[in-house]
């Protein structure tokens, strides 16, 4: 008798004769790890607010960072570290912006106010 050419060879394992080889399935994505959006946004707005506060413009970014940081602490426990960092940088940006705002107001408005008082008394004009 002649061997059947369509029959599998004796050296081939049984598993490969019955099923085709497939790649392993990817690992499932952890739903908790992907829920860090508010924490990331809080950190980004906090850093931008801190940098912008050098020119007294970080107030809006700092407030946004603080709001997003508090929301992230409430909703996303996996993003706790980023939310706290966003809160710290956001509040620091708010504080620096307020201090710079007071300094700018003091250096610009107080002299203008003083000049306005003197103009009203007639010491500079007829």
Each residue's pLDDT tens digit, 38-91: 999 999 999 999 999 887 788 999 999 999 999 999 998 888 999 999 999 999
> Is 5 part of any domain?
no
The number of distinct structural domains making up the chain is: 1
Domain ranges, residue 111: 36-119
Q: Which residues contact 73 (CB under 8 A, 6 or more apart)?
A: 80, 83, 84, 87
For 61-73, what is each residue's pLDDT tens digit? 999 999 999 999 9
Per-residue pLDDT, 86: 94
Per-residue pLDDT, 34: 60
Per-residue pLDDT, 24: 75
Could you tell me if residue 27 is left (phi over 0), alpha (psi between -120 and 50 degrees) or otherwise beta? Answer: beta
> Is 61 part of any domain?
yes
Q: What is the mean pLDDT of residues 29-46?
A: 79
């Amino acid at each position: 008798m002649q061997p059947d050419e369509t029959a599998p060879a004796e050296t081939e394992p049984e598993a490969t004769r019955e099923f085709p080889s497939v790649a392993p399935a990817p690992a499932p994505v952890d739903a908790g790890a992907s829920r860090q959006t508010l924490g990331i946004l809080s950190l980004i707005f906090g850093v931008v607010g801190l940098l912008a506060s050098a020119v007294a413009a970080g107030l809006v970014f700092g407030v946004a960072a603080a709001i997003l940081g508090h929301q992230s602490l409430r909703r996303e426990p996996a993003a706790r570290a980023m939310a706290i960092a966003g809160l710290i940088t956001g509040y620091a940006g708010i504080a620096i912006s307020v201090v710079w705002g007071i300094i700018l107001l003091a250096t610009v408005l107080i002299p203008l106010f003083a000049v306005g008082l003197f103009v009203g008394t007639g010491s500079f004009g007829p």
